[in-house]
Every structure is written in structure tokens, then in C-alpha cells.
């Protein structure tokens, strides 16, 4: 093959490779807006069960998506979705949702359970789930005002060892009765 | 502001004369404003309207839709099953008006791609810089005798609304021991799992109210969406009620009907007289897409997947079921996702920017029993100029998933419904 031709072929293949690789990643809003069909516009879910994802810390978002993709964290569907994105794309979405306002939910709850949960919160959960579970910067999920079925599913998964609990949480959860746990979940869901 | 040629100025002035109450500022606005006209107010059209306004409130968006309410096809099968009311799948356009969208209840009858104008049945003309066409589907004449009069006797219920209500009424009126015949269409068609979810939902109603009755599916295909999971559901929840028959065993499914006689005949000549007959014809793009010359020989609209701009007529984008979007499916979620890609591209284009890289998702739930939901999901990216499935992503609910997991999927389906309808129609 003449040197000139092979050089031209090499150059064109580099250009072709370049055009694929240089294709910019989708923008953060382009990626994040695809979530809205299930998680609600701007990550604020109308419920009843799919959680709000607006306002959660970027660290938590990145960790959770990685765990979903690697099946370290149980899901019905999120593993299938999480495997569709690169680490960089997930980081773009994480920053996007971290910057969005968390909207309060309005759900029917049991006032007596909410009150009982309030009494249990400080002693059992308050050290890590700051500000009644409303603080994103504690790098756990936002529990305050989250949809109750989602909180219940999460706790079922923790208790069934489908999802790993931090050691301190495991100790606390093991000592609580089913009624106490339900009261705590109702308490978190009731926060505005 | 772009240069206005004398001839264009006359057109603009002429258009503005119709709204002369706005006087001179109206002319200035018409010349300088970026105008997008959207034809069709279903999930795709409504989402596009809202997301354009969110991205750039300086773009004037006019949505042309004949009906004052939209009934979602998704979850309309639950109306047939009895778990859901017609009102729960009904959505209006006040939410879009809150986003500054001009909603015009009229029927688009023509799109002039050269003059960049949409004309309506009501005699109005709308000029645009970019047009988005989201017309949904229309029916092909693949079943002899299935004319407009037959639609009212053997409802398709494949455009939700009065047809859904009619089919439900027929189910309520049928005697116990009767058969409900469902004739699903050949590919490609709107909502590929829909006919089989419908069979499950009708079976739920029959088992509770008319337990001696049956659902007979005479398919125009030999396989279908989520087939393993549906077959499992037929066995698990609908044994003895639902029977599915492949096209190869009937000469291709139902080929003709005699609506007045109440009969439907298969390709191999078997005549079925069911208590209720649900004919779902073969499909193509909605009528306006055909009129506007946006379809190819397949009956669907070829588009550039980066922007969903028609490859036949520049300046017109086609989204939702009408577009050739495979491997994306013809689903509500895909229409919502395509609408956002297109909205972003249109906002870039009217502002003289190169559109960015697109990204899409599809998620589709089917409710096969009151506490049993199944799903299919996929993430899509843009590879070599086309929509592509992201390798390793997506897939179906596991055949082995537990009843508790299936119950969760029902709650997720309801959440998805609330969120996607609010995303498309909410204020």
C-alpha cells in the first residue's frame, strides 16, 4: 500500500475515532430530565411510592447509583437504569439534583404513629439523620417528607439483608419493634 | 432581529391583521419573536410545549389540539378492569397555559413546510420558525369491514376516551359465559404490551363479575412484548380465562369483520361471534403527518434522531408514536423522553446554536393482576447518528421475582403515572 494512501487512511480513521469519542456528553439537564417520567418534574415525585430525588447530596446520589449498577443495593428497576450511565454522566446528574429544591409531600399519615415516632427519633436516629432527616449534607438520603411506601420498602430491604445497614443503624434497628419502626417511618414522612 | 424581506413582511402583516387589536407592537413582536407551533396535545406534544417554555420563555409556543381534554392510553386498561375511573386518565391544558403556552382547540389540516405555516379546520393560519408534530397514530385498513361505523360496534379503544368508555360499557352489559375477543395488531404499533395487559385487566373484571366468561386473544403475531412475563401471568392469575392464539394457527389472526352481524373472521376462515369484540387495527402515523407528507412508504415518519427533525421536510420535527424511533418503542414514556430531546434541540436551533447530545429513557409498566406489576426499561444514547440501546442497561422484570416485588411494581406504576402526567400536563 502506498505510504500516502495508508497515511490518509490512518488519518481518516483517527478522525472517525475522534468524532465518536469527541461527541460531548449529554448536558446535565438532558440526562436528568429523563428521570422525570418516574421521579417527577425536577425530581419531585407526586407519589405514592417513587421517592423524591431533588435536593439529595451529590455524594449520596453517586454512591447509590453505583450500588444499583453493581447490584450491591437491591432494586426492582433502578439497577436496570443505573447500568445505562457512565460514572461521569451519573456525576452530572448528581450535581444537577443536588441543586434542586426538595419539595414537601402531602400524604395521609396516622397522627398517633407520627407522635410516637417523634418520641423515638432523637434517641434512635437523630445522631446520623440530622434535622429530622431533612439535612442532605449528612450524606444519607433525605428521609423528611419522603413518600411513606418508599421508606417502608427501604426498611424491609434493610431488615431482609438486601441492603447494607451501617453498623450503628443495624444495632438500633434490631432493638426496635415493628410498631416502633413503623412509627419512626411515619414520623419522617410527616416532616415538611 | 433577522432581515425581513418585503414579501415576508406582507405575510407577517397579513397574519397580524387578524389580531389587529394588538396594533403596531404586534407586528414588531411577530417579526422578532421565535415561534414554535406544536400540532397534537398528547403526551409528546404537551411535554414538548412545557419543556420549551421552561428552557426559554422568550420562545412563543402555540399548541394546536382539537380536544379540550386528553385521555391517556396508558393505564386506560385499568378503566376496563374497573380499578380506575375515566376521570383519573383525563387531563386538560390549563397547566400548559400556566407555562405561557397558547393552547388553540382546533384541528390542524395542513402544514406548508416551504411557507412554514400550519392551517386549521377553523380557518386559522399559524406561522412558525420550527414546528413539532405529535399526532399519535391513525389506523390502516387491514381488516375488511372495519369502517367508522364498525368502530362504534367493535371498539378499538386504542385512542383512549369515548372508545374506552364504550368498551367498558360493553363489558358491563355482556352476559356471564360470553367471550371477549381481542384482536391485537401486527407490528409496529402503539404500546406493544398494551393488548396483553388489556386481556389481564378484562380478565380481572370477568373473574370478579362474570366468572364463566373468557378472553380470547387472536393475535396477528406469533410473539409479543414481555411475552414470557405475560404468559406467566396468564397461567398464574388468568388460567382458564385467557387464551392466546398465535397468528400461525389462525392464518394471521382476524382479517375481516361484519360488525352488524357481530362476527369476526380469521385468515383461515374461522368465524367468531363474541359477546364483545375488540379490534385493534394495524397502525400508521396520525392523519396530519400523512397529509403533510411527513411519512414514508412504511406509513411512519423518518426523522434525524439527534433532533427528531423530519428527514423529508426541514423545520418540522416529528415525535411520539408517529416517528420512526426504533429501538425506542412507541410508548408514552418514550414520547415524553423524545419531547424533551426535541424541545432542547428546538430551543437551540431557534437561538442559532448547535443542538447538544441527546439521551433517552423508556420505562413501561403493565399491571397483570391487582398486586402484580411487570416492567421493561432501557437507557438509550446517540451512536453513529442513531438512537441506540446502552449495552448492559435495561431489561425486564425477573420471571422469578417475588409477589412482594411485583406488588411494589404496581405502586411504582401508579407513581410513574402520576409523575409522567404531571410532567406533561402539570402547571
> Alpha helix locations (H) across B243-283?
none
Q: Give the bridge partners for B3, in sequence order.
A: none
How far is the C-alpha of A105 from the C-alpha of A109, rounded, in Å? 11
For residue B384, the chain A residue with the least C-alpha distance is A20
Looking at residue A23, its pLDDT comes to 73
Are B323 and B316 in contact by the 8 Å Cβ rule? The answer is no
Could you tell me if residue B284 is left (phi over 0), alpha (psi between -120 and 50 degrees) or otherwise beta? beta
Query: Mapping DSSP to helix (H, G, I), strand (E, B) and coil, where does residue B174 land?
Result: coil
Residues of B in contact with A79 (CB under 8 A): none
Cβ contact, residue pair B416, A38, below 8 Å = yes
| Nearest residue on chain B to A42, alpha-carbon basis | B423
The mean pLDDT of chain A is 91
Best of B377, B378, B383, B426 to disrupt the A interface by mutation (most A CBs within 10 Å)? B377
Question: How many contacts (CB atoms, under 8 Å) link A and B?
Answer: 129
Q: Is A33 close to B358, i.e. CB distance below 8 A?
A: no
pLDDT at residue number B32: 74
- CB distance B426–A41 less than 8 Å? yes
pLDDT category at A12 given cuts 50, 70, 90 is low
* CA distances from residue B158 to B72, B74, B138, B151, B182 in whole angstroms, order as listed: 10, 10, 10, 11, 12
Strands B130-133 and B34-39: parallel
Facing A153 at nearest CB: one of B358, B401, B408: B408
Q: Summarize the confidence of residues B64-73 as an average pLDDT.
A: 98
* Test mutation, B412, B417, B422, B426, chain A, max A CBs within 10 A: B412
B418 neighbourhood in chain A, CB within 8 Å? 45-48
Test A41 with B377 for CB contact under 8 angstroms: no
Q: Which of A18, A70, A77 to mutate to test the interface with B (most CBs of B within 10 A)?
A: A77
Q: What is the pLDDT of residues B85-108, one digit of tens each?
A: 999 999 999 999 999 999 999 999
Q: Measured at the alpha carbon of residue B357, what is the angle toward residues B35 and B74, in degrees to the nearest 5?
A: 70
What does each C-alpha distance from B223 to B192, B194, B383 come to in angstroms? 11, 14, 28
**ipTM for the whole complex:** 0.91
**pLDDT > 90? residue B180:** yes
Taking 70 as the threshold, does the pLDDT of residue A22 lie above it? Answer: no
Computed over every residue of chain B, the mean pLDDT equals 94
Cα separation, B103 vs B66, in Å, equals 10
Question: Is the CB of A85 less than 8 angstroms away from the CB of B379?
Answer: yes
- Supply φ then ψ for residue B262, to 5 degrees: 75, 25
Contact list in A for residue B426 (CB cut-off 8 A) is 41
Spell out which residues of chain B touch residue A33, defining contact as CB-CB under 8 Å.
51, 340
Nearest to A142 by CA among A174, A176, A105: A105
Over range B132-156, report the average pLDDT: 98
CB B232 within 8 A of CB B400: no
CB contact under 8 A, B415 and A84: no
pLDDT band at residue A174 using 50, 70 and 90 as cut-offs? very high
Single out the residue of B67, B157, B48 nearest to residue B106, CA to CA: B67
User: Quick one: average pLDDT of B277-284?
Assistant: 98
A10-14, B68-72, B362-366: range with lowest mean pLDDT: A10-14
Contact A50 B416 (CB under 8 A): yes
Q: How near does any CA of chain A get to the CA of B285, in Å?
A: 23
**Closest partner CB to B415 (pick from A27, A41, A49):** A49
Res B9 pLDDT > 60: no
Q: Please judge whether A80 and B395 are an interchain contact, meaning their C-beta atoms are less than 8 angstroms apart.
A: yes
Distance CA B210, CA B201 (A): 13
**B337:A34 CB<8 A:** yes
Q: Which residue in chain A has the smallest CA separation from B410?
A: A49
| Facing B361 at nearest CB: one of A47, A76, A81 | A81
pLDDT at site B12: 44
pLDDT at B17: 41
pLDDT at B21: 40
Strands, sheet with B271-272, edge to edge from the N-terminal-most edge strand = B254-258, B263-266, B271-272
**Predicted confidence (pLDDT) at residue B3 exceeds the cutoff of 50:** no
Contacts of B331 in chain A (CB under 8 A): none
- A157 CB within 8 Å of a chain B CB: no
Which of the residue ranges B7-16, B41-50, B302-311 would you say has the lowest mean pLDDT? B7-16
Which pLDDT score, from 0 to 100, does residue B417 have?
98
A residues 90..149 contacting B (CB < 8 A): 147, 149
Mutate to test the interface with A, among B332, B398, B423, B427 (most CBs of A within 10 A): B423
Q: What percent of chain B has pLDDT over 90?
A: 92
CB contact under 8 A, A45 and B415: yes
- Chain B positions touching A49 (Cβ under 8 A) are 408, 411-412, 414-415
Partners of B111 in the β-ladder: B118
CA distance B312 to B289: 11
B398: helix, strand or coil:
coil
For residue A139, name the pLDDT band (cuts at 50, 70, 90). confident
Give residue B68's pLDDT. Answer: 98
List pLDDT tens digits, range B349-379.
999 999 999 999 999 999 999 999 999 999 9
**Band of residue B411 on the pLDDT scale cut at 50, 70, 90:** very high
pTM comes to 0.91
- Indicate yes or no: CB of A77 within 8 angstroms of CB of B363: yes
pLDDT at A19: 46
Cell of A55: 435536593
Distances (CA, A) of B235 to B81, B193, B224: 18, 17, 16
Nearest to B178 by CA among B202, B150, B156: B202
Q: Note if the bond before B128 is cis, omega within 30 degrees.
A: no
Q: Phi and psi of B381, rounded to 5°?
A: -130, -175
Searching chain B, which residue's CA lies closest to the CA of residue A156?
Answer: B404
A23 to chain B, closest Cα gap in Å:
7
Which of A27, A47, A76, A159 to mutate to probe the B interface, most B CBs <10 Å?
A: A76
pLDDT for A137 equals 82
Look at A33 and B340 and tell me if their CB atoms are within 8 Å: yes
What is the C-alpha separation between B116 and B127, in angstroms, rounded?
Answer: 6
Whole-number Å distance between alpha carbons of B122 and B65: 12
Q: Which three cell numbers stand for residue B205?
A: 373484571
d(CA A127, CA B72): 46
Identify which of B377, B405, B423 has the shortest CB distance to residue A81.
B377
- A residues 21-80 lying closer than 8 A (beta carbon) to B: 23-27, 29-31, 33-41, 45-50, 76-77, 80
Identify the CA nearest to B373 among candidates B400, B399, B411, B416: B411
Question: Could you tell me where the DSSP H helices lie in B274-331?
Answer: 287-291
Amino acid at each position: 500500500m502506498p505510504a500516502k494512501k495508508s497515511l490518509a487512511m490512518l488519518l481518516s480513521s483517527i478522525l472517525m475515532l475522534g468524532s465518536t469519542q469527541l461527541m460531548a456528553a449529554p448536558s446535565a439537564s438532558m440526562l436528568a430530565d429523563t428521570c422525570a417520567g418516574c421521579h417527577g418534574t425536577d425530581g419531585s415525585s407526586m407519589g405514592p411510592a417513587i421517592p423524591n430525588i431533588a435536593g439529595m447530596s451529590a455524594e449520596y446520589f453517586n454512591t447509590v447509583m453505583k450500588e444499583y449498577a453493581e447490584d450491591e443495593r437491591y432494586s426492582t428497576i433502578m439497577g436496570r437504569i443505573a447500568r445505562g450511565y457512565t460514572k461521569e454522566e451519573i456525576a452530572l446528574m448528581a450535581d444537577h439534583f443536588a441543586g434542586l429544591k426538595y419539595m414537601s409531600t402531602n400524604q395521609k399519615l396516622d397522627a398517633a404513629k407520627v407522635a410516637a415516632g417523634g418520641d423515638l427519633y432523637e434517641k434512635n436516629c437523630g445522631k446520623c439523620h440530622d434535622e429530622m432527616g431533612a439535612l442532605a449534607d449528612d450524606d444519607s438520603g433525605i428521609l423528611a417528607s419522603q413518600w411513606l411506601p418508599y421508606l417502608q420498602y427501604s426498611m424491609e430491604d434493610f431488615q431482609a439483608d438486601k441492603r447494607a445497614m451501617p453498623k450503628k443503624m443495624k444495632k438500633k434497628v434490631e432493638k426496635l419493634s415493628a410498631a416502633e419502626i413503623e412509627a419512626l417511618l411515619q414520623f419522617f414522612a410527616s416532616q415538611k | 432581529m433577522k432581515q425581513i424581506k418585503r414579501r415576508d413582511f406582507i405575510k407577517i402583516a397579513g397574519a397580524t391583521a387578524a389580531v389587529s387589536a394588538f396594533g403596531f407592537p404586534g407586528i414588531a413582536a411577530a417579526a422578532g419573536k421565535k415561534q414554535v407551533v406544536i400540532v397534537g396535545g398528547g403526551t409528546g406534544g404537551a411535554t414538548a410545549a412545557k419543556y420549551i417554555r421552561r428552557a426559554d420563555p422568550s420562545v412563543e409556543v402555540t399548541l394546536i389540539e382539537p380536544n379540550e381534554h386528553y385521555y391517556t392510553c396508558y393505564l386506560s386498561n385499568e378503566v376496563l378492569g374497573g380499578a380506575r375511573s375515566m376521570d383519573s386518565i383525563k387531563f386538560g391544558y390549563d397547566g400548559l397555559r400556566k407555562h405561557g403556552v397558547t393552547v388553540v382547540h382546533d384541528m390542524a389540516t395542513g402544514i406548508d413546510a416551504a411557507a412554514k405555516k400550519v392551517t386549521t379546520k377553523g380557518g386559522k393560519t399559524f406561522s412558525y420558525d420550527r414546528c413539532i408534530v405529535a399526532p399519535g397514530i391513525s389506523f390502516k385498513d387491514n381488516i375488511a369491514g372495519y369502517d367508522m361505523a364498525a368502530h362504534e360496534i367493535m371498539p378499538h379503544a386504542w385512542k383512549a376516551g369515548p372508545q374506552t368508555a364504550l368498551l367498558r360499557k360493553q363489558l358491563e352489559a355482556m352476559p356471564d359465559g360470553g367471550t371477549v375477543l381481542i384482536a391485537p395488531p401486527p407490528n409496529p404499533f402503539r404500546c406493544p404490551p398494551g393488548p396483553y395487559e388489556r386481556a389481564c385487566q378484562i380478565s380481572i373484571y370477568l373473574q370478579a363479575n362474570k366468572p364463566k366468561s373468557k378472553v380470547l386473544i387472536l393475535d396477528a403475531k406469533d410473539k409479543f412484548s414481555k411475552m414470557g412475563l405475560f404468559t406467566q401471568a396468564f397461567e398464574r392469575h388468568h388460567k382458564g380465562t385467557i387464551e392466546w392464539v398465535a397468528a400461525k394457527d389462525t392464518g394471521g389472526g382476524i382479517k375481516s369483520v361484519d360488525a352488524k352481524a357481530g362476527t369476526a373472521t380469521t385468515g383461515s376462515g374461522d368465524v367468531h361471534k363474541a359477546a364483545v369484540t375488540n379490534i385493534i387495527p394495524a397502525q400508521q402515523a396520525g392523519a396530519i403527518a400523512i397529509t403533510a407528507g411527513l411519512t414514508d412508504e412504511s406509513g411512519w415518519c423518518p426523522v434525524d434522531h439527534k433532533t427528531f427533525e423530519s428527514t423529508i421536510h426541514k423545520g418540522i420535527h416529528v415525535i411520539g408514536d408517529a416517528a420512526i424511533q426504533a429501538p425506542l418503542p412507541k410508548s408514552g414514556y418514550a414520547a415524553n423522553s423524545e419531547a424533551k430531546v426535541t424541545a432542547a434541540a428546538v430551543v437551540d436551533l431557534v437561538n442559532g446554536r448547535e443542538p447538544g447530545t441527546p439521551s433517552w429513557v423508556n420505562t413501561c409498566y403493565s399491571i397483570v393482576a391487582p398486586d402484580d406489576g411487570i416492567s421493561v426499561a432501557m437507557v438509550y444514547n446517540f451512536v453513529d447518528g442513531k438512537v441506540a440501546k446502552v449495552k448492559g442497561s435495561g431489561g425486564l422484570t425477573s420471571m422469578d421475582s417475588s409477589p412482594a416485588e411485583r406488588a411494589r411494581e404496581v405502586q411504582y406504576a401508579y407513581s410513574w403515572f402520576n409523575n409522567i402526567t404531571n410532567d406533561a400536563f402539570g402547571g
